[in-house]
Amino acid sequence: MARRSNPAVRIATETAHNAVFDADGKPKPGVHNMLLKAVEIQRPLVLAYIRRLQKKHPRATASQLADILERDYLRAVTGGGAIVGATAVVPGVGTMASLGLSAAATVGFLEATALYATSLAELHGIRLTNPEKASTMVMAIMLGEEGTALLGTLSGQAAGNGMNTTRAWGNVLSKSMPVPGFGSVKNRIQKAFLKNLLKRQGTALFGRALPFGIGAVVGGAGNLMMGRAVVSNAKEAFGPMPDTIPGELNAAAAPDHLTLEGNKFGSQR
């Protein structure tokens, strides 16, 4: 007996798609800006987060801190997806309202990813003082091999001098001065990032908007898969953890005023 399609699922999916894309299948105005804004992060927030972890785990090595970053990141993105997905089963929460929460979950996923990736970079001694360069690195990490290969084009000369590729592009992004060719590479990474994100996250966005509690399963599972992909990409990009924690991250030297509100991921702009 052939399985009958669920019309509610079809309606939810179509409504979600129409809210994000126009009739030609292109993202509606504002969608790109929302996604790009979500991966921006300020370095003081990153340092505050790492120092808070150091105070909580004063004997932790760089590798152990990286494991904690990974655990907290996956918990944050998975929980966020499941909670939003569950709202679709609540009486009175329609598909459009649920989609609005799904869009918020997408932004939350990106903000959590930005904090995780830049925190891991700091543990590797890569100081991302420029928010634009930091967000470009985050997008490259999410793209995986394609993104880090593009970053590598910024540092071909350094890599040719015997420096490992990650250290080479890390040093380039750490520079406060303008980097030749950065604008072109940034634009290419940004374009690829948006294309891939709308393709991958679009499926999760629709899944979180599904009714009858299905969204709670699809949302959490989708975020976990994407979160694990980010972790794998980051480990591949940065390589083995250093034996020692960079001196600037000495917990004893952390200013008291650099703290985070609560225990949630997200940007404090």
Confidence of residue 266 (pLDDT cuts 50, 70, 90): very low
208 closest CA partner among 84, 113, 104: 84
**Per-residue model confidence as pLDDT tens digits over 100-146:** 656 667 778 888 999 999 999 999 988 888 889 999 999 999 888 88
User: What average pLDDT is seen over the chain?
Assistant: 74
- Give residue 106's identity as a one-letter amino acid code: T
**Do residues 107 and 41 lie in contact, with contact meaning Cβ atoms separated by under 8 Å?**
no
- Give residue 210's identity as a one-letter amino acid code: L
C-alpha distance from residue 23 to each of 7, 16, 20, 27, 118 (Å):
21, 13, 10, 10, 37
**Per-residue model confidence as pLDDT tens digits over 181-202:** 888 889 999 988 888 877 765 6
Q: pLDDT: is 77 or 260 the higher one?
A: 77
- What are the residue boundaries of the structural domains of the chain, listed by start? 30-245
Whole-model pTM: value is: 0.74
**Do residues 206 and 18 lie in contact, with contact meaning Cβ atoms separated by under 8 Å?**
no
- Joined together, the tokens standing for residue 119 give 């925190």
Output the pLDDT for position 138.
93
Q: How many Å apart are CA 44 and CA 60, to the nearest integer? A: 21
Give Cβ neighbours of residue 46 (< 8 Å, ≥ 6 apart).
115, 118, 119, 122, 128
* Residue in this structure with the two tokens 């600037």, named with its chain if needed: 248
**Per-residue model confidence as pLDDT tens digits over 17-38:** 565 666 666 666 677 787 788 8
Output the pLDDT for position 73.
92
The 8 Å CB, 24+ separation contacts for 29-34 are 31/198, 32/194, 34/103, 34/107
DSSP summary character for residue 58: T
